[in-house]
Amino acid sequence: MEDHEIEAVTVGEPPPQYQEILVVDYDPIWPHWFESAAFRIREALGDKVLQLDHVGSTSVRGLLAKPLIDINMAVADTTNEDAYVPPLEAIGYKLRIREPDWHEHRLLRGYDPPVNLHVYNPGCEELDRTVRLRDWLRTHEDDRDLYARTKRELAQKKWKYVQNYADAKSEVIQDILGRACA
């Protein structure tokens, strides 16, 4: 994603620039962080939550990660932000990204625990893709190691936005997904 695109989809204050990318060894607290966040999200939204999954590197035991829980959530219609954003804001989340041109994706940032809550419409291919990647990395040590090496190398570089770091991982993720889908 180009810098101007990152800035265009950001809600509120501009994203921080040139932050250190901190990746740390797997922490067994991360599943508990997910459970805590999931409980609060479900409590706030009730049956509006159609799907809720712990994804990303913190969901893979043994994989280094940024200490930030990625959660995918499906709601009936991401464009109906009034249905889910205010209740999430009431429990401390902030809407940070609105991407109408990419799966109508929304991202809310939570802080206790630290969460990136990705919101999609039901049946969105991104929901399946991230779960497939998670499940593959949980059971394939060689690809988990490859991904860890890639993350460590990329984290050493200087990136204008954290999203630039995330985008730089895309090639290795696609390679891994190619094996996972074979």
Query: How would DSSP label each residue in 132-150?
Result: HHHHHHHH-HHHHHHHHHH
Domain boundaries, the chain: 3-14+22-180
Name which CATH class applies to 3-14+22-180. alpha beta
State residue 41's pLDDT score: 98
The answer to whether the bond into 67 is cis (omega within 30° of 0) is no
Burial class of residue 115, CB neighbours in 10 A (0-12, 13-18, 19+): buried
Cβ count near 164 (within 10 Å) = 17
State residue 19's pLDDT score: 80
Helices and strands of the chain, counted as H and E runs: 7, 5
State residue 146's pLDDT score: 97
State residue 170's pLDDT score: 93
State residue 119's pLDDT score: 98
pTM summary value: 0.93
State residue 2's pLDDT score: 73
Query: Which residues contact residue 3 at a Cβ distance below 8 angstroms, ignoring those fewer than 6 apart?
Result: 160, 161, 164
**How far does Cα 153 stand from its chain's mean position?**
20
Structure tokens at 44: 């706030």
State residue 4's pLDDT score: 67
**One digit per residue, pLDDT tens: the chain, 182 residues?**
676 687 787 788 877 777 889 999 999 999 999 999 999 999 999 999 999 999 999 999 999 999 999 999 999 999 999 999 999 999 999 999 999 999 999 999 999 999 999 999 999 999 999 999 999 999 999 999 999 999 999 999 998 888 889 889 999 999 999 999 88
State residue 144's pLDDT score: 97
State residue 13's pLDDT score: 83
Q: Pick from 58, 50, 54, 48: which is nearest to 88 by CA?
A: 48
| CB crowding 79-102: b at 16 or more within 10 Å, else e | eebeebbebbeeeebebbbbbeee
